[in-house]
């Protein structure tokens, strides 16, 4: 077929010539290159995260890197991301944290008045919040790893339903 012969001739001619253009030349599409780099970055970040000896609270609530979660967070307001990040990493404005910074004199939970008020206590174990936790998250008490499967908006709405969180973060 004459069209194929012309195409073959042009392909042979092009393959026999030295490449001229921007260096370095790589015979793959930019999309494939970006995807490969992104996957490598996720793999390296996961290896680092899994070897990390610090951030115990964060690693309990965020046991691995989830690109789906990243996309969810990118689509949220700054206020939502701030509150979720504070609680899921354990750096929320809670009594135990504020007491360590010498801002508060007591670390007692302002909701149940029994346990130490930590981000984990409020998210998972505070008995006075069981009904709200059940309403928003579907379970009265939870383990940190249960939050991996929870919708971030549900977690935020649960936190927003707690008066001390609303007050500390000026949520409406």
The pLDDT profile of the chain, 172 residues, written as one tens digit per residue, is 667 888 888 888 877 877 777 666 667 778 888 988 988 988 888 888 778 788 888 888 887 777 778 888 888 999 999 999 999 988 888 888 888 888 888 899 999 999 999 999 999 999 999 999 999 999 998 999 898 889 999 999 999 998 888 888 787 6
Radius of gyration of the chain (CA): 26
The predicted pLDDT at position 26 comes to 62
Cβ neighbours of residue 142 closer than 8 Å, sequence gap 6 or more: 123, 124, 133
Convert 81-111 into a string of H (helix), E (strand) and C (coil): HHHHHHHHHCCCCCHHHHHHCCCCCCCECCC
Burial class of residue 149 (count of CB atoms within 10 Å of its CB; 0-12, 13-18, 19+): exposed
Instruction: Retrieve residue 8's tokens.
Output: 């073959």
The predicted pLDDT at position 25 comes to 64
The predicted pLDDT at position 130 comes to 95
The predicted pLDDT at position 100 comes to 87
| DSSP line for 19-86 | P-SSSSP-SS-HHHHHHHHHHHHHHHHHHHHHH--S-HHHHHH--S--HHHHHHHHTS-HHHHHHHHH
The predicted pLDDT at position 1 comes to 64
SS3 3: helix
């Amino acid at each position: 077929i004459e069209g194929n012969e012309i195409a073959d001739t042009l392909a042979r001619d092009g393959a026999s010539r030295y490449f001229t253009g921007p260096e370095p030349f790589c015979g793959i599409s930019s999309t494939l290159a970006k995807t490969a780099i992104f996957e490598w970055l996720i793999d390296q970040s996961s290896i680092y995260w899994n070897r990390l000896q610090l951030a115990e609270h964060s690693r309990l609530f965020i046991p691995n890197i989830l690109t789906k979660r990243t996309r969810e967070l990118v689509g949220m307001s700054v206020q939502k991301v701030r509150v979720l990040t504070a609680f899921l990493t354990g750096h929320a404005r809670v009594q135990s944290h504020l007491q360590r910074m010498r801002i508060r004199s007591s670390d007692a939970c302002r909701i149940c008045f029994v346990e130490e008020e930590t981000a984990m206590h409020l998210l998972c174990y505070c008995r006075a919040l069981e009904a709200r936790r059940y309403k928003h998250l579907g379970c009265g008490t939870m383990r940190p790893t249960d939050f991996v499967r929870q919708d971030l908006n549900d977690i935020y709405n649960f936190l927003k339903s707690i008066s001390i969180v609303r007050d500390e973060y000026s949520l409406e």
